[in-house]
Structure formats: structure tokens, C-alpha cells
Amino acid sequence: MPTLIAGGTVVTAASTYEADVLVDGGQIVQIGRDLGVEDADRIDAAGKYVFPGAIDVHTHLDTPWGDKYVTADDWRVGSIGAACGGTTTIVDFALQAKGQSLREAIDGWHAKAEGKAVVDYGFHAMVMDLTESVRNEIPVMIEQEGIPSFKVFMAYKGVVQADDETLLRTMLIAGEHGGLTMVHAENGDAVYVIQERFAEQGKLGIEYWPESRPPELEAEAAHRAIVLAGIANAPLYIVHVSSALAVDEIAQARSRGAQVYGETCPQYLVLSKERYLEPGTDAARYVMAPPLRDASNQEPLWQALASGSLQVVATDHSAWPIKDHKDQSLDDFRYIIQGAPGIETRLPVLYTYGVAAGRMTLNRFVETTATAPARLFGLYPQKGDIAIGADADLLVWDPAVEWTLSVNGLHGNTDYTTFEGMPVQGAPAAVLSRGRVVVRDREFVGGEGGGRFLHRSPFNPL
């Protein structure tokens, strides 16, 4: 049966207007005022916004940390959390192990996600071991497998860090075939030296975590990646930008016409490094890389989102419980499992402290959470917009709801949220994934599975 979303305010990246939206066969089939449709399920959107379903292009579901730990959220739990937060598409990172082909890594991620994901999904290929055979796989991933994005770590020396040769070769091959290279921009060699020096000085408490990964090393790595991307004549996407210094590198490159794009995350917009002064396990929940920065970095990040110097807000969702996971090395920050949950809280935080606070427009909110991710990662126009023929991934957002973020009201498997106690405004009243109503009033109603793997198109610049 068709579904009619009636009486709402449709908001896209480009426009805002009053309209009904009719959904049938998993797609948007009609948009207009006062649509007289009989025999349709009706969702009353009066007083509410109708957004394109959000897209989170930076998640880590069912992902290992070494040989002992795996993230708490598998694909079912993680995708339910995404849906309840208004996200209808996930693009997750498929981790390549040493000696493994990209094909083997991707097959492993298909096995994790298939039949469990309740919203649509895709994969990025993470490149750690760039052998000749792996280099030959990159064009195949882009042209046949629907995976046109490749992540290279510039951090985590001795674990997943790649050298500049690997980074440049990846950029060259991906760029030649319509791929997009993504980087975690921190100078891993310098971080290693600083942390070793801190160890010699006995500075291993969590309060030293942000000092061991200073923003200058994020900016240096961003600059180096931008230079190499220019040499390769290839597009570059820098994940989880956390500092004003890194924003400056991206903004300067873009002003010169470089195809450089940047992403930030809610934690860097509203949390600061004072959190590391909290007691033991409380501080451990904020151990992530890059670390939380001085609060002076927050306004430059907001301004960069508003101006377009940064294009995307994602989450870096990496769900590790405190108990028996992040609490295992409180006396030596180097060995605390890094990462935090965020897949369900992204939109409430961004709407409250961005839109409602006057830092960004509704249209820019949609652009950074749905349209720009869809365009950059080969999902547009089927995803990221409200238009006839597009997938009916829709979020009915109630701006009047006021509530408080708490782990007890979320759907993940972690025992905390980094936003505990934070007041927020606005929440999903209904979420549709290809026309299926999967969420009502922040509660999942979608049943088993339902998500499909998305073959994404080659990179197309904004």
C-alpha cells in the first residue's frame, strides 16, 4: 500500500516548502500540496519537517580491535540505532588485514552485514597492505563491486599506518579509475615519538591523551595528504577533522581549486578536552583519535560547516563498552581501546547545537548529513534528496520534542554515551527506508533485516 506523508515542511539542501510526499514501490512517486490519495497509509507531518534520510559515511560495525575485542554493535544493533536516530544509509569500513586481499576483506564484511542490516549500506575498502595484487584490485572494486572509496591511515604506527608511498600509490590508482581516497590525518610517526617520551616521563594518565596527539600533527598530516593528492591529481576526503588548524589546511587547498573534502563529527563540535580530567572510567569513554580538542576549536568547525569548507558530518561510530573493554588500561592511555558510539545521536546534537542555535540553516543541515555524503560517495540521486524517482528514504522530524540524551534511551550495546545528560531539541517522529516505516517516535518497528547492499557509482565531484 502507498504511504502518504501529509502536511509537512519538505526540506532539501536547496529548498524548503510545504508539501505532501507520496511513496509507492519503495520510491517517491509524487510531491505536491494537498494530494488527494485514497487507500494510502497516512503519516501526519503537520508541524514537522520532512528530510531526506540521513547518510552516515563513517561507521565501524562488528569491527575487531586486535585479536581480543570486537565492537559491541553488530550490523543489526548498529543499524537499528542508526534508524532510530534518522539515518537510513550506512557506509562502513571493511578492514583489510595484513596479507589479505581486498576481495577477502569485502567478502568478510558482506557476511557480517547481510540479513542483519535494517537500513541500506555500503562499504569503504581500507587499504593497509598495498601489494601488487591489491593494486590491481582497486579498479575492480570501483568498476565491478560498487566500492569507489578507499581509506588509508596516516596514524597508528606499527598497526595500520601506511607510509607515503602507499598513500600516493592508492591516490594515483583510485584517481585514475574514478575512486576517492580517504585519510585519517595524523602524523603517526610523530605521535609515536611523543607518546614514548611521555612514557619515559611517567605521563600516561588519560589527561595526557590529547597532549600526545596535538592538533599540529593533524594539520601536518592533512597538509601532506593534500600535497600528495595534488601530485596525483586525485580527489581527497579527510575524515573526522577535529581542529581549526586542519580546517585551515582544507580551506586553503579548496581556495586554490583542489578537490579536497572534509568531514567532522558531533563530538568535536560540542565536547572538549576537559573531559579527559574526569575520573578514570569516565575519562576513558572519550579516548578517541583524533582526541577532543580545546573548546576554541569548536566555533571554527561550525563556521567551516556553515561556509562549506567542511562538507559532511559523520560519526566515526565505534562502540566499545567501558566494562571489560575501555577500562582495561586506565594507567596507560596508549592501550585504551579508542573510539566511541554516536550513530544514533548525530542528528539531535547537530540540530540542537547547529540549527536551533543559529549556527547553520536547515538546508545546510540536510546538505551535510544527507546530500553531500550521497554526492561524494556515489549514492546520488537515489539517496540524499527528496525528488520523484528517488528512494523513499525519509525522515519526519519533530522540532518541538525536547529530551535529554542518555544511554538508557538509546538502542546500542554500549554502557554509555559521550553525550550523557545533554539536552537536545528535535527527534525522529517517523523514519522510512525505501518506503518501509522502520521507526516511529524513536522506536524501531521495522522487523528483521530489510537493508540492502548498495553498489555505489564512481566519484563525481561536488
In a domain, 91, yes or no: yes
Per-residue model confidence as pLDDT tens digits over 320-336: 999 999 999 999 999 99
Q: How far apart are CA 298 and CA 357, in angstroms?
A: 13
In a domain, 414, yes or no: no
Asked if 173 and 24 sit in the same domain, the reply is no
- Among 212, 202, 157, 204, residue whose Cα is nearest residue 184: 157
In a domain, 20, yes or no: yes
- Among 265, 272, 209, residue whose Cα is nearest residue 238: 265
pLDDT at site 67:
83
Asked if 27 and 73 sit in the same domain, the reply is no
Asked if 22 and 60 sit in the same domain, the reply is no
pLDDT at site 201:
98
Per-residue model confidence as pLDDT tens digits over 192-213: 999 999 999 999 999 999 999 9
Of the chain, the percentage scoring pLDDT greater than 70 comes to: 100
Asked if 258 and 295 sit in the same domain, the reply is yes
Cell numbers of 111, please?
Answer: 557476511
- Sequence letter at residue 68: K
pLDDT at site 66:
83
In a domain, 77, yes or no: yes
Q: Is the pLDDT of residue 374 over 90?
A: yes
Beta carbons within 10 angstroms of residue 223's beta carbon: 18
Q: Is the pLDDT of residue 1 over 90?
A: no
pLDDT at site 241:
98
Q: How far apart are CA 93 and CA 367, in angstroms?
A: 22
Asked if 36 and 158 sit in the same domain, the reply is no
Q: Return the axis-axis angle of helices 244-255 and 298-307, rounded to nearest 10°.
A: 30
Asked if 47 and 58 sit in the same domain, the reply is no
Per-residue model confidence as pLDDT tens digits over 290-331: 999 999 999 999 999 999 999 999 999 999 999 999 999 999
Residue 96: pLDDT band by 50, 70, 90 thresholds?
A: very high
Q: Which residue has the cell 519503495?
A: 26
Asked if 58 and 47 sit in the same domain, the reply is no
Cβ(396)–Cβ(45) under 8 Å?
yes
Q: Which CATH number is 151's domain given?
A: 3.20.20.140
DSSP one-letter string for 328-370: TTTT-GGGSPP-B--TTTHHHHHIIIIITTTSS-HHHHHIIII
In a domain, 452, yes or no: no
In a domain, 367, yes or no: yes
Asked if 171 and 43 sit in the same domain, the reply is no
Per-residue model confidence as pLDDT tens digits over 11-68: 999 999 999 999 999 999 999 999 988 899 999 999 999 999 999 999 999 999 888 8
Domain count, the chain: 2
Q: How far apart are CA 302 and CA 254, in angstroms?
A: 17
pTM for the model stands at: 0.98
Element (H, E) at 191: helix 188-200
Query: Residue range 368-378: average pLDDT?
Result: 98
Asked if 58 and 41 sit in the same domain, the reply is no
Q: Which CATH number is 7's domain given?
A: 2.30.40.10
Query: Residue range 252-269: average pLDDT?
Result: 98
Residue 340: pLDDT band by 50, 70, 90 thresholds?
A: very high
pLDDT at site 336:
97
In a domain, 420, yes or no: no
Report the alpha-carbon angle 441-442-447, nearest 5.
100
Asked if 37 and 122 sit in the same domain, the reply is no
Query: Residue range 178-195: average pLDDT?
Result: 98
Query: Residue range 67-85: average pLDDT?
Result: 96
Cell numbers of 419, please?
Answer: 553525550
Per-residue model confidence as pLDDT tens digits over 401-429: 999 999 999 999 999 999 999 999 999 99
pLDDT at site 306:
97
Residue 125: pLDDT band by 50, 70, 90 thresholds?
A: very high
In a domain, 155, yes or no: yes
Q: Is the pLDDT of residue 166 over 90?
A: yes
What range does the domain containing 274 cover?
Answer: 54-376
Asked if 354 and 433 sit in the same domain, the reply is no
DSSP letter assigned to residue 273: G
Asked if 37 and 72 sit in the same domain, the reply is no
Cell numbers of 355, please?
Answer: 540549527
pLDDT at site 462:
81
Q: Is the pLDDT of residue 136 over 90?
A: yes
Q: How far apart are CA 78 and CA 343, in angstroms?
A: 7
- Among 119, 117, 120, 3, residue whose Cα is nearest residue 50: 3
Question: Beta 120-126 vs 149-153: how paired, if at all?
Answer: parallel
Contacts 24+ apart (CB under 8 A), 153-156: 153/126, 153/128, 153/183, 153/184, 153/188, 154/183, 154/184, 154/185, 154/186, 154/187, 154/188, 154/221, 154/224, 154/225, 155/184, 155/185, 155/186, 155/187, 155/188, 155/191, 155/221, 155/289, 156/188, 156/289
